[in-house]
Amino acid sequence: MKIAVDKNSIQAVTGDNNEYIYLFDNEPYQELLNTKLHCIQFNCCKFVDINLTDYDIDCIKKAKITDKGYKNLQIRNYKMAIIIPNYNYEHTIDKCLSSIANQTYKNYEVIFVDDMSTDNSVNIAYKYIDKLTNIKIIELQQKRLNGGARNEAYLHISNDVDYVWYVDSDDWLENEYVLENINRKLQKKPDVLFVGMNQCKNGKESLAFKPEYKDKYEAMQGWSGSCGKVIKKSLATRQECLYNEGTLKEDRNQHYKICINMETFDVLPEPVYVWNRDNIKSVTTVREEIIWGTSTIRHYADTMQLYLTYKGKDKKLDRILEERLNLCKKEMDEKGDKQY
């Protein structure tokens, strides 16, 4: 384990198997932001060249120099379940799974749920069994759409999983350090970690979503896509937080339920996920299908049920859900759609 220390602190922590890195006045400490170092804090001392407490260094974890402090630097590696619903995405699934297989952080499992595909995407997924020894492939025998596929995935999550994350089979992870960065932000054990996302349009990436929420109400009104949240397993799998099945737009209603029931959250503003907006087969692109219109009606009904369930318990929540109902009503009246 690499630990950043100031010159004077090293005398307090020698004799173990860790690797200590000195910091001095001319140290380009801003470059440490991406080194994933652990840091030891030391009180101000005129004999110390640099003091870590004087700098906002984004280390994985910090400890003070006490009899036991530096021994508490070791972080926990949380196990994540990456849930991938799939339907006929043979043209994108290889890139999706490859971006996961290349992760430097390995404490995860992949649950690939196929919703009765008719193309070669399932066979491509099976080819990843050697690269992803922790992949589980489930082939549904009845059409359940994305919500049902994710609910089914919950039944196959290992007991030792701590968090779940949803990755769509036409998208991919930004780089090989994504899961490392997520695990670093999970050290405070938030119920939900909202993560930043890029979008890929015409082959070019740009920022799509940067979470900067101050409270749960702001979070509820923010990006509702499933891929923008890493959720504690015990919260995601609660009965009242399950996805609605047999409909599109299922992620919006689940987003409200997660935000209502979470007690703590954190944010990772940097984009770690790439939303593929070049996918011409995406359900958000192919909107002339009848199911898109019926899903708008279903979304209105689901939001109304949520509103009536919690009505009168929280005035801010009432107002937010009332605004959602008005947006749903406008969608139905104008046969349009607002992405929120």
Q: How far apart are CA 174 and CA 100, in angstroms?
A: 10
Same domain, 159 and 41: no
State the Cα–Cα distance between residues 241 and 259, nearest whole angstrom. Answer: 10
CATH number, domain at 116?
3.90.550.10
* One domain, residues 151 and 55: no
Instruction: Say yes or no: 122 and 193 in one domain.
Output: yes
Clarify whether residues 108 and 229 are in a common domain. yes
Same domain, 106 and 231: yes
Res 290: pLDDT: 72
Is the domain of 268 the same as that of 320? no
> How many CB atoms within 10 Å of residue 288?
6
Q: Is the dihedral of CA 281, 285, 289, 294 positive or negative?
A: positive
Domain boundary pick from 18, 47, 72: 72
* Structural domains of the chain, count: 3
Same domain, 329 and 302: yes
Looking at residue 270, its amino acid is E
- Structural domain contains residue 260: yes
Q: Are residues 85 and 64 in the same domain?
A: no
Above 50 in pLDDT, residue 121? yes
Residue 251 pLDDT > 50: yes
Domain membership of residue 282 (yes or no) is no
Residue 110 CA to residue 313 CA, distance in Å, equals 38
Domain for residue 155, yes or no? yes
Structure tokens that stand for 114 in this block: 């196929």
The strand pairing partners of 21, in sequence order, are: 4
Domain that holds residue 194: 80-276
Task: Check whether residue 100 and residue 152 sit in a common domain.
Answer: yes
The last residue of one of the domains, among 24, 54, 72, is 72
Residues 214 and 313 both lie in one domain? no
248 and 305 housed in the same domain: no
- pLDDT at 156 > cutoff 50: yes
Contact between residue 128 and residue 136 where contact means Cβ atoms under 8 Å apart: no
CA gap 17, 164 in Å, rounded: 33
Domain for residue 283, yes or no? Answer: no
Q: 192-201 and 135-139: which strand pairing?
A: unpaired
- 194-217 b/e with 16+ CB inside 10 Å = b? bbbbbbbeeeeeeebbbbebeebe
210 and 243 part of one domain: yes
Residue 285 lies inside a defined structural domain of this protein: no
DSSP summary character for residue 301: H
Predicted confidence at residue 144, as pLDDT, reads 93
Q: Considering the chain, what percentage of its residues have pLDDT values greater than 70?
A: 74
Within a domain: 284: no
Specify the pLDDT at position 109: 97
Each residue's pLDDT tens digit, 203-242: 999 999 999 999 999 999 999 999 999 999 999 999 999 9
Whether 281 is in a domain gets the answer: no
What is the per-residue pLDDT for 292? 78
Across 34-52, average pLDDT:
56
The answer to whether residue 196 sits within a structural domain is yes
The pLDDT value recorded for residue 338 is 47
Q: What is the pLDDT of residues 187-197, one digit of tens each?
A: 889 999 999 99
Nearest to residue 339, comparing CAs of 302, 298, 299? 299
Helix (H, G, I), strand (E, B) or coil at 8: coil
Q: Which among 72, 100, 116 is the end of a domain?
A: 72
DSSP H helical segments within the chain, as ranges? 10-13, 93-101, 121-126, 145-154, 178-185, 216-220, 233-236, 250-261, 290-310, 315-334
